[in-house]
Structure 1
Amino acid sequence: MNFPDFIKRDFSLRSFNTFGIDETASLYMEVKTVDDLMQIYRHASLMKVPRLIVGGGSNLLLTGHFDGLALRMAMKGMHIEREDKEYVYVSAAAGEKWHDLVSWTLKSGLGGLENLSWIPGTVGAAPVQNIGAYGAELKDCFFSLKAFDFEKGILIELGKADCRFAYRSSVFKNALRNRVAIVEVTFALPKSWKPNITYAEVEREVKRRGITGPTPEEISEIIVEIRQRKLPDPAVLGNAGSFFKNPAITAERLSELKINYPGMPAYIQTDGRYRIAAGWLIDQCGWKGRRMGNAGVCETQALVLVNHGRASGADIATLAKAIEKEVFDRFAIRLEPEPVFV
Structure 2
Amino acid sequence: MKLEHQKNIQMLNTLRIPSVANAYVNCRSLLEIRQAIAWACDHDKKVYVLGGGSNVIPLQHIQGLVLQPKLKGIEVFVHNNDEVLVKAGAGENWHSIVCYCVERGYHGVENLALIPGDMGAAPIQNIGAYGAELKDVFWQLEALNIQTQQLEVFDFADCDFGYRDSVFKNAKRDQYIITSVTLKLSTKAKPNLSYPALASHLRERGIDNVDAKDILNAVIHIRRSKLPDPRLVPNAGSFFKNPVVSVQQYQTLLASFPDIPAYEVSLTQKKLAAAWLIEQTGWKGKPLDKVLVHKDHALVLTNPSCEIADKVLGLADAIARDVRAKFDISLELEPRLIGEL
Quickly name the TM-score band, shorter chain normalised: over 0.9
Q: Aligned partners of 2:68, 2:212: CA distance in 1, in Å?
A: 31
Residue 164 of structure 2 corresponds to: 168
Structure 1 distance, partners of 2:291, 2:213, is 36
1:35: which partner in 2?
31
Does 2:305 correspond to 1:309? yes
Deviates more, 1:175-184 or 1:102-111: 175-184
Secondary structure at the aligned position of 1:124 is classed as: helix
- Which residue of the other structure, out of 278, 284, 287, is the alignment partner of 2:280? 284
1:54-203 alignment runs, 5 A limit:
54-203=50-199
Query: What is the DSSP-based 3-state SS (H/G/I as helix, E as strand, rest coil) of the residue aligned with 2:142?
Result: strand
Of stretches 208-217 and 95-104 in structure 1, the one that deviates more from structure 2 is 208-217
* 2:211 paired with 1:209: no
Choose which of 271, 276, 289 in structure 2 pairs with 1:293. Answer: 289
Equivalent residue of 2:14, what SS? coil
1:295: how far off?
Answer: 0.6
Query: 2: CA distance between counterparts of 1:289 and 1:44?
Result: 42
* Matched residue count: 338
Task: Report deviation, 1:213.
Answer: 1.9
TM-score by length of 1: 0.96
Query: How much has 1:225 moved relative to structure 2?
Result: 0.6
Distance 1:46 1:218 in 2: 52
Unaligned runs of 5+ in 2: none
Counterparts of 1:213 and 1:272, CA distance in 2 = 36
C-alpha change, 1:46 and 1:223, in structure 2 (3 Å) is farther
Shift of 1:44: 6.6
Amino acid at match of 1:81: F
1:247 partnered with 2:243: yes
Shift of 1:248: 1.0
1:25 aligns with 2:21: yes
Distance 1:88 1:307, change over 3 A: same
What fraction of aligned residue pairs are identical, expressed as a percent?
38
Distance in structure 2 (CA, Å) of the matches to 1:314 and 1:42: 31
Please report how far the alpha carbon of residue 46 of structure 1 lies from its aligned counterpart in structure 2 after TM superposition.
4.3
Question: Shift of the alpha carbon at 1:285?
Answer: 1.0
- CA shift, 1:45, in A, is 4.3
Cα distance in 1 for residues equivalent to 2:42 and 2:288: 39
Deviation at 1:263, TM superposition (A): 1.6
CA spacing shift, 1:77–1:47, aligned 2, 3 Å: farther
Q: Hey, what's the Cα distance between the residues in 2 that align with 1:48 and 1:286? A: 46
In structure 2, relative to structure 1, the CA distance for the partners of 1:87 and 1:6 (3 Å cut) is same
Q: Deviations over 1:217-269 (max 9, x none)?
A: 10111111111011111111111000000001111221222223222110011
Partner SS state of residue 125, structure 1:
helix
In structure 2, C-alpha distance between the alignment counterparts of 1:81 and 1:65, rounded to whole Å? 43
- Give the structure-2-normalised TM-score: 0.96
* Aligned counterparts of 1:24 and 1:327: Cα–Cα separation in 2: 32
Match of 1:6 in 2: 2
C-alpha distance in structure 1 between counterparts of 2:35 and 2:26, whole Å: 12
Q: Tell me the distance in 1 between the aligned counterparts of 2:133 and 2:191.
A: 14
Answer yes or no: is the 8 Å Cα contact 2:40–2:46 preserved in 1: no
The answer to whether the Cα contact below 8 Å between 2:105 and 2:187 also exists between their aligned partners in 1 is: no
Give the Cα separation in 1 of the matches to 2:39 and 2:115. Answer: 36
